[in-house]
Amino acid sequence: MLTAANFKFILAAGALYGYFSRTGLQTLEFREEDSAPSLLYPAKENQLRERTLHQLLKRYVSGESVSFNTIPLDIASGTPFQQRVWRAATTIPYGEYLSYGQLAQQIGQPGAARAVGSALGANPVCVVVPCHRILAANGRLGGFTAGLHWKRFLLTLEGIEFTEQL
């Protein structure tokens, strides 16, 4: 859970708040503005990273196909399995998706779809690690830690078709 942030990006339904460590982006999460963490003064060494991320997010929410691969990540808080899942998710291109089972196969763990889902649920850097691009079998939404309204927003933004939960 984010307690303080040095990055903020405003959206219509809330905001993205994040924190850069010395290594890279450590946290990026959706929050409603009334539940926002306090903001820290940005560290000088991260100001360029924050400006770069802000510009990429601005282009992304305007509907442009964007790669966040230039943003360094600090995902050391995850287990080795979680880190493998998160890295694999970053390879899914804008506007495309995989199922949880397909991502499990991609990382060499066929049959680990639920474990992949759990790892994605712990993703500390949403959007940049695009866990929203992972859908359940038959194109159903599956889950999303920030709430399905955010997952719908991101998928719709990217033109990805999905099936509502039954």
Structural domain includes residue 153: yes
Cα 70 from Cα 64, distance rounded (Å): 16
How many distinct structural domains can be found in the chain?
2
Residues 20 and 86 in one domain: no
Beta bridge partners of residue 11, listed in sequence order: 14
Please give the pLDDT value at position 4.
63
CATH number at residue 92: 1.10.10.10
Partners of 104 in the beta sheet? none
Catalytic residue among 16, 56, 92, 131: 131
Annotation marks residue 131 as catalytic: yes
Q: How many residues does the chain have?
A: 166
3-state helix/strand/coil string of 41-107: CCCHHHHHHHHHHHHHHHHHHCCCCCCCCCCCECCCCCCHHHHHHHHHHCCCCCCCCEEHHHHHHHC
pLDDT in tens, 8-61: 788 766 788 888 988 899 999 887 766 666 665 566 667 888 889 999 999 999
Residue in 10, 52, 51, 61 with CA at minimum distance from that of residue 31: 10
pTM higher than 0.75 for the full model? yes
Q: 147 and 113, same structural domain?
A: yes
pLDDT (tens digit, 9 = 90+) per residue, 78-106?
999 999 999 999 999 999 999 999 999 99
Cα–Cα distance list, 3 to 6, 54, 61, 131 (Å) = 11, 20, 25, 22
| The pLDDT value given to residue 33 | 65
